[in-house]
Copies of this chain bind each other. A is one copy, B any other.
Amino acid sequence: MYLLLGGNGYVGSAYRKYFEANKIAYQSFSRAELPYTQPGVLEKHLKNNRPDFLINCAGYTGKPNVDACEADKANCLFGNAVLPGILAEACASADVPWGHVSSGCIYTGCKADGTGFTEEDPPNFSFRTDNCSFYSGTKALGEEVLQDAPRLYQWRMRIPFNHEDGPRNYLSKLMRYARLLEAENSITQLDEFVTGTLACFEKNIPYGLYNFTNPGHITTRQVAGMIEAAGLAPHPFSFFSDETEFMQKAAITPRSNCILDSSKLAKAGIQLTPVVEAVQDALARWIPEVKK
């Protein structure tokens, strides 16, 4: 039996949907139902219910985007850096293995040779490098808080998308924004993230950090072109001339745009679809929000 925290969010909902569709036993609680941030509550629940694996999708992302974190720093810090530590203590005490949805948004750019960052590279878009959004800072601190936690997977997701239109879906965001920022990114197909993360536990791969992005990288212009080719562009795409204009006109805090190397995951036996193919597939099966 799986225990899911944060099951009402964008990522958590994808787990619930998968569990329901595949008749997999799980529990999912909101903080109101199980006040798991309070001392002792989660530990007691784990000891009484003995889930096989806990999945933490709870966190603070900022709505509609990461700018919102700048105005709500304490809650952002709590959700992304303190809460993981609370969960780690409870899971260690109850000896329950678990997985935490971390973020690849703690990097910017790529390595000097043009390749992606591996799990060995320290974050370069964090408080410690003093160049980040508050959100990215808290996610990197969360990894620090968890660095010695036993029996833990930290899965670094980036810019989730799938075939279902919605306000948190990267492809939908590109369709809905008035103007776009050209950038090169590694990104994560949400449904493959769900099945792939569950496979970590099922296949018993080694615990630790995993860059959980679809192999390769893709530019905003590439994705925009694919949306146009699929006949899904609501209007001709318009781009900011550069990041400076984007920051001046549309953003409060800097964004992470980065390339990650996901080969550690592949070597552990978990293969995700190459990124261009994954985007094409999502667009081919696209379900507009109004029709859902």
Contacts and interface: CB of A to CB of B under 8 A. Distances in A.
User: How many copies, total?
Assistant: 2
Interface in A51-103: 73-75, 77-78, 81-86, 88-89
A126 B137 CA distance: 13
Contacts of A141: 77, 127
Interface string A200-233: 0000000000000000000000000000000000
16 contacts: A38-B38, A73-B144, A74-B81, A74-B82, A74-B83, A74-B85, A74-B88, A74-B145, A75-B85, A77-B81, A82-B82, A127-B128, A128-B128, A128-B130, A129-B130, A130-B130
A127 B106 CA distance: 14
Contacts of A81: 74, 77
A98 to B, nearest CB: 15
Nearest to A35: B38
A78 B83 CA distance: 9
A73 B145 contact: yes
Given A74-B85, A74-B88, A75-B85, 19 more contacts: A38-B38, A73-B85, A73-B145, A74-B81, A74-B82, A74-B83, A74-B84, A74-B86, A77-B81, A77-B82, A77-B145, A78-B78, A82-B82, A126-B127, A127-B128, A127-B141, A128-B128, A128-B130, A129-B130
A81 B142 CA distance: 14
Contacts of A75: 85
Interface in A136-171: 137, 141, 144-145
A111 B78 CA distance: 34
Contacts of A82: 74, 77-78, 82
Contacts of A130: 128-130
Contacts of A74: 81-86, 88-89, 145
Nearest to A145: B73
Contacts of A89: 74
Contacts of A86: 74
A145 B38 CA distance: 22
A90 to B, nearest CB: 11
A15 to B, nearest CB: 24
A155 to B, nearest CB: 19
Contacts of A73: 85, 144-145
A86 to B, nearest CB: 6
Nearest to A31: B39
